[in-house]
Amino acid sequence: MTTFNWVNEAEKKWNETSNYWNKNSKDMWDKGSRKEIVPFFQNYIEIGSSVCDLGCGDGYGSYKLAQSGYSVLGIDISSDMIEKAKIQRNAPNLTFQKGDIANTHLENESFDAVMAINSLEWTESPLQVLFEINRIIKPSGYACVGILGPTAMPRTNSYRRLYGEEVICNTMMPWELEQLASENGWEKMDELHVYKRGADKLDLHNISNELKQALTFMSVFLLKRKGE
């Protein structure tokens, strides 16, 4: 029997998806579901800070951070994604490398902040990734972490687990990530709700945060590393 290797299967998945992702990533970051993330990030992280983008894909989000004045290292498990990033995303303050975001081999406390958008749930242990982020950022550093919300269709990648099949999407609810972070060295500073299409017809100002999370396509948390 062949042993299921999460890292290898994840790289295979994202190598196969790299052309589709590359075709659509610019629109996602400029006009789509990710358009508010960099401005949200800028509210807390000083321009010129060093940032590690974990699960950077083809690097367009990293590129937008670099354009905004940050010094950025993008890391992704997919060799095809990293190859596209190196070819297409050029800036003097931007570099890319292939790697496992749960075990980056980067130096301790070497970054001011981390961005990880829709990448934690594609790892075998999101908790291990939180530990790794804690290790590589400086004391009182920040992490901008986005996960798929309850209404996001990509979460169907985890469905076959109900048949006992091995999957590489580790579905989490927004409240689960929030609690997991709180229990493991992080303080939530802010939250960005990216809603499913159609939610704009609802009165979103007068409902609880719990209900807001339930309607999201994506929840983005701004976390601060708790002081020692």
Question: Could you list the pLDDT tens digit for every one of the 228 residues in the chain?
Answer: 568 899 999 999 999 999 999 999 999 999 999 999 999 999 999 999 999 999 999 999 999 999 999 999 999 999 999 999 999 999 999 999 999 999 999 999 999 999 999 999 999 999 999 999 999 999 989 999 999 999 998 889 999 999 999 999 999 999 999 999 999 999 999 999 999 888 777 888 889 999 899 999 999 999 999 875
Q: Which residue has the tokens 């291990």?
A: 128
Residue type, 65: L
HSE (side-chain half, CA atoms, 13 Å) at 221: 26
- 57-84: b (≥16 Cβ within 10 Å) or e: bbbbbbbbbbebebbbbbbbbbebbbeb
Cite the DSSP H helix spans in 72-166.
Answer: 79-88, 126-136
Contacts 24+ apart (CB under 8 A), 127-131: 127/180, 127/184, 128/102, 128/103, 129/54, 129/101, 129/102, 130/180, 130/181, 130/184, 130/185, 130/186, 131/184
pTM as predicted:
0.95
Which parts of the chain are beta strand (E)?
A: 50-54, 71-76, 94-98, 111-117, 137-148, 186-195, 216-225
Map out the domains of the chain with their CATH numbers. 6-225 (3.40.50.150)
As a whole number of angstroms, the distance between CA 48 and CA 109 comes to 16
As a whole number of angstroms, the distance between CA 18 and CA 80 comes to 6
As a whole number of angstroms, the distance between CA 157 and CA 154 comes to 6
Which residues have a Cβ under 8 Å from the Cβ of 95 and sit 6 or more positions away?
72, 73, 74
Which DSSP letter does residue 92 get?
T
Q: What is the pLDDT of residue 1?
A: 52
As a whole number of angstroms, the distance between CA 7 and CA 11 comes to 6
Residues 67, 70, 75, 78: what is their CA dihedral angle, to the nearest 10 degrees? Answer: -10
Q: What is the pLDDT of residue 228?
A: 55
Instruction: Kindly report the number of other CB atoms within 10 A of residue 165's CB atom.
Output: 9
